[in-house]
Amino acid sequence: MLTRLAISNLATIESLAIDFQAGFTVLTGETGAGKSILIDAIRFVLGEPGSTHQLRSGAKQILVEAAFDLSALPEVTARLNELDIPSAGELTLRRLLQENGRSRALANDCAITQARLEQIGQYLVNIHGQHDHQMLLNPASHTEFLDSFAGLLTLRDDVGAAHGDYTRPVRERKALREQASQRARRREELAMMLADLKAARLSPGEEESLRNEHTVLTHAEQLAGLLASVCESLYEGEAPIAGRLRETAQLLGQAAAIDARLAVRCDQIEPLRYQLEDLYQALRTYAAGLEADPARLEAVNARLAELEKIKRKHGDDVSAVLQRMRDAERELAELEEVEDNLEALDRRINEVAGQLHALSVRLSKRRIAAALRLDRQVMAQLAELGMKQAAFKTQIKPLQSPSVKAPSYSQAGVDAVEFLLSTSPGQVLRPLSRIASGGELSRIMLALKTVLARADPTKTLIFDEVDAGIGGNMAEIVGRKLRALGTTHQVLCVTHLPQIAALGSRHVLVTKIAENGQTYTHAEPLGEQEKVQEVARLLSGINISSHSLASAQEMVERSREAGV
């Protein structure tokens, strides 16, 4: 229950604080006095976005504080415990909006995000405004009314989650199928390219090896002559290097015999002799294998030409071609995996479709049963609101499907819910948008709100001029309905109707004054005589006559005698 509201620097409110109590409280005041600003403040402190355009001229920040008694709201206490916010049966929310647009929220002096503030606010206050009449004309809101009445919001959330699990793979499958022809063409291209490259039997370093071999084959005779000269110089000529190296070793040995320190130099010559012989043998073997081989040269030329052709088509060099081949193999594997994914998606879709269908059917059955109860209770309320001849029906039909082969699903299930009304005997039940007048809409809305409020865990209900379009005796009946709601809920009602204002168990007057070029909005609780004066003003306007005062006194006394 809302126990206190304090506002600073919001529009025409410089500083204002109101204490609230249980029961039915009415808020009245002249048009433009600032009643809607109070509702805006409550919306803001409960997490709705604020606007710097509402910042009072010359102020630096908007501050709204709301205190709540949580003794009858275990859901809020549990949620605060989850957020590690101490409560002890009370909650004070503070919300600031600075002139630079930054906002901050505190719950019992603990920082809280706007999203979490909104979640908690849903349990604290339910605001019904004039726009609800337009909502009532929109069949999309009728599902919300029915599900709230039947306590089906949790089940509907489960249906919504299942619908998301279903639609995501369906969209993915659709996208994959739309690309199927492109993937088929690409697979064919890749397969042909890989067949071409695999047939070429490429290997790393092959091109370099072939070019070297081509050079050798082209200059085989020249190379053989050069190697023959080298071998002759090493061992086979008149004065070979090997012979001179032996003579050198002998001479150095004789020197070492004279000076033993030269023996180590003799040891250095011996390895040179072995290396020289190894070199000679290797060159002889290489030279023996050299021969002009026109057939092999032709084969090498053909292979190099083949490699050039492949490079022109697939890459700058053989290494790049081999990399492209690996990339093509990977891409082809990925394309094949897509086909496997399609099969997996089909299995997943069938699985979640079954879950969605089962939950939707369960939700639909419970809606049908709840619709009968809702219709009876709403018609009873309409009868009390002067529409005794009216017939009200909650129509539940399957959603229209583009395909006759399968039902259509939405996040709210498989049902299209719409309220139908007949205001006179013999009239056909028709959608509200085609039959209801403004006054009838107000009464239908109040009937629905009265029925829904019985099951509403939110203990504070705010009605912002929902009495539009009604008057006279009907206004008093509406006021009695609101006062009756006040026995189970805290009800705040902004009204311009004296019949409703007279029935308030507590009355707050909102006024606006201008001083020194500034406008100020104030809100003050009224005593009994002040309440009579305000009801008289609502009856007759600015000039309050003795007759209107007497009528106001009678209305207030009658409401007091009537109890609820």
Mean pLDDT of all residues belonging to the chain? 87
Separation between Cα atoms, residue 216 and residue 224, nearest integer Å: 10
Helix residue ranges, H only, 180-293: 180-200, 206-218, 220-231, 241-258, 263-288
Question: For residue 550, what pLDDT band results from cuts at 50, 70 and 90?
Answer: very high
Say what percent of the chain tops pLDDT 70: 94
Is the per-residue pLDDT at 406 higher than 70? no
Separation between Cα atoms, residue 308 and residue 107, nearest integer Å: 76
Q: What pLDDT is recorded for position 155?
A: 94
Q: What pLDDT is recorded for position 131?
A: 61
Q: Which residue has the higher pLDDT, 443 or 227?
A: 227
pLDDT digits (tens, 9 = 90+) for 75-99: 889 889 999 999 889 999 999 999 9
CA 226 to chain CA centroid, nearest Å: 80
pLDDT digits (tens, 9 = 90+) for 291-312: 778 888 888 888 888 888 888 8
Superfamily name with CATH number, domain 1-129+448-527: P-loop containing nucleotide triphosphate hydrolases (3.40.50.300)
Q: What pLDDT is recorded for position 140?
A: 81
Indicate left, alpha or beta for 472 from its phi (over 0: left) and psi (-120 to 50: alpha). left
List the domain boundaries for the chain.
1-129+448-527, 184-334
Question: For residue 333, what pLDDT band results from cuts at 50, 70 and 90?
Answer: confident
Range with the lowest mean pLDDT among 218-232, 449-463, 524-538, 539-553?
449-463
Q: What pLDDT is recorded for position 195?
A: 84
Separation between Cα atoms, residue 123 and residue 68, nearest integer Å: 11
User: Which of these, 499, 496, 469, 464, lies nearest to 483 by C-alpha position?
Assistant: 499
Range with the lowest mean pLDDT among 151-160, 226-235, 301-310, 462-471?
462-471
Is the per-residue pLDDT at 389 higher than 80? yes
Is the per-residue pLDDT at 67 higher than 90? yes
Q: Which residue has the higher pLDDT, 136 or 122?
A: 122
3-state secondary structure 316-341: CCHHHHHHHHHHHHHHHHHHHHHHHH
**CA torsion angle for 519, 525, 528, 533 (degrees, to 10)?**
20
Question: For residue 132, what pLDDT band results from cuts at 50, 70 and 90?
Answer: low
Span 531-542, mean pLDDT?
A: 90
Question: For residue 68, what pLDDT band results from cuts at 50, 70 and 90?
Answer: very high
Range with the lowest mean pLDDT among 133-137, 172-176, 514-518?
133-137
Question: For residue 133, what pLDDT band results from cuts at 50, 70 and 90?
Answer: low
Q: What pLDDT is recorded for position 108?
A: 96
Q: What pLDDT is recorded for position 562?
A: 61
Are 524 and 509 in contact by the 8 Å Cβ rule? The answer is: yes
Report how many helices (DSSP H) and strands (DSSP E) the chain contains, helices first. 18, 15
Question: For residue 345, what pLDDT band results from cuts at 50, 70 and 90?
Answer: confident
Span 237-266, mean pLDDT?
A: 86
Is the per-residue pLDDT at 441 higher than 90? no
